[in-house]
């Protein structure tokens, strides 16, 4: 608890992300976790990204202290509702669009957009989390294969080199999943999913609104020279699409209204929107033995 809040009637709650050093090393995630910390520091004041407060480490683990969003993941709301009304999808797609414009203006590609990484705060606004795959690329390309299979773009799957355009493809997939309840590219195995993505053939129901269909088609196009968001106007071209008609972007970014999915919290500190888990595990010496400490701990020197 921060100093000065000890006697507060309702102390501020925070989220603590713990990563075991042995897991980070074994999964070769050292660079990813360093990127995550640095990018969260860069974004700490942006309203739709979970606020970074500080980080530290002990012998066996790394810790990142973050703003707490009591509404849980968008994924849970979508599964309970089966699909969102077009106005709900429009609202959250607009907030995600603002996030992507902000990140891209700072040279950052996110690379892991999906409902599980979108939290809902107490007023129903989004908070993007999990920047483990995010990377500062500027105007360069990168070649790392990372992300969630259903949300990968064709250029990532084909190892052609990718940049910020992958986030706009993922936004199209997200809009589709929000309004239909399932992603456009789905199969029993990742290989089958990848084949469908490379083919880029999307099936649309007849009842889908024309502007919704059009923005998905223009975001989920294999042709990078035609992909909305990757054109001359960048993300601002996405904001001008008719799908977003009626959105006041200035008021939205200022959060002057509540979002459509306001969590029904029963009390201060209610965690009903999150799963519980058993934190028990090996002791620090068992988890991170001296031999591993000597060989690898210098990698976390600046954490």
- From the first residue on, what is the mean pLDDT of each consecutive set of 10 residues in the chain (303 residues)? 59 92 92 93 94 95 96 96 97 98 96 97 97 90 86 92 94 98 93 94 96 98 96 95 97 96 93 79 68 92 88
Q: What's the burial of 209, exposed, middle or buried (CB within 10 Å: 0-12/13-18/19+)?
A: middle
Residues 6+ apart with CB under 8 A from 247: 90, 91, 94, 239
Residue 144: the pLDDT is 80
Q: Which of 7, 112, 139, 223 is catalytic?
A: 112
**Which residues does residue 63 pair with via DSSP β-bridges, in sequence order?**
18, 56
Residues 6+ apart with CB under 8 A from 68: 12, 13, 14, 15
Residue with tokens 């980070």: 24
**CATH number of 82-253, picked from 1.10.510.10, 2.120.10.30, 2.70.70.10, 3.40.50.720:** 1.10.510.10
3-state secondary structure of 160: coil
Residue with tokens 């071209």: 237
- Separation CA 152–CA 190 (nearest Å): 11
User: For this structure, is 258 an active site residue?
Assistant: no
Class for domain 14-69+270-300, per CATH? alpha beta
Residues 6+ apart with CB under 8 A from 130: 36, 112, 117
Structure tokens given for 179 = 């309004």
Residue 6: the pLDDT is 57
Q: Residue ranges per domain, the chain?
A: 14-69+270-300, 82-253
Residue 287: the pLDDT is 77
Residue 2: the pLDDT is 54
Which phi and psi (to 5°) does residue 112 adopt?
-150, 40
CA angle 58, 118, 224 (to 5 degrees): 110
- Separation CA 115–CA 58 (nearest Å): 32
Residue 281: the pLDDT is 58
Residue 4: the pLDDT is 56
- Separation CA 144–CA 83 (nearest Å): 32
- Separation CA 302–CA 300 (nearest Å): 6
């Amino acid at each position: 608890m921060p100093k000065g809040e000890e006697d507060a009637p309702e102390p501020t709650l925070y989220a603590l992300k713990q990563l075991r050093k042995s897991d980070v090393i074994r999964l070769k995630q050292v660079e990813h976790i360093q990127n995550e910390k640095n990018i969260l520091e860069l974004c700490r004041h942006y309203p739709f990204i979970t606020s970074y407060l500080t980080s530290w480490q002990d012998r066996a683990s790394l810790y990142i202290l973050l703003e707490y969003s009591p509404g849980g993941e968008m994924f849970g709301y979508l599964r309970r509702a089966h699909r969102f009304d077009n106005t709900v999808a429009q609202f959250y797609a607009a907030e995600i669009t603002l996030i992507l414009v902000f990140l891209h203006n700072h040279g950052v590609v996110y690379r892991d957009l999906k409902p599980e990484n979108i939290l809902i705060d107490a007023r129903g606004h989004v908070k993007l989390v999990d920047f483990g795959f995010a990377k500062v690329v500027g105007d360069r390309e990168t070649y790392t294969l990372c992300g969630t299979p259903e949300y990968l773009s064709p250029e990532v799957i084909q190892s052609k080199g990718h940049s910020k355009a992958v986030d706009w493809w993922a936004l199209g997939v997200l809009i589709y999943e929000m309004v239909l309840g399932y992603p456009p590219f789905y199969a029993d195995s990742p290989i089958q999913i990848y084949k469908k993505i490379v083919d880029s053939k999307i099936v649309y129901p007849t009842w889908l609104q024309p502007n919704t269909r059009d923005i998905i088609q223009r975001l989920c196009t294999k042709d990078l020279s035609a992909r909305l968001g990757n054109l001359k106007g960048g993300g601002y071209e996405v904001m001008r699409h008719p799908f977003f008609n009626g959105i006041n972007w200035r008021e939205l970014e200022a959060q002057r209204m509540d979002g459509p999915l306001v969590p029904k919290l029963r009390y201060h500190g209610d965690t009903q929107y999150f799963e519980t888990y058993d934190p028990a595990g090996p002791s620090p010496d068992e988890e991170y033995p001296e031999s591993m400490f000597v060989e690898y701990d210098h990698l976390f020197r600046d954490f």
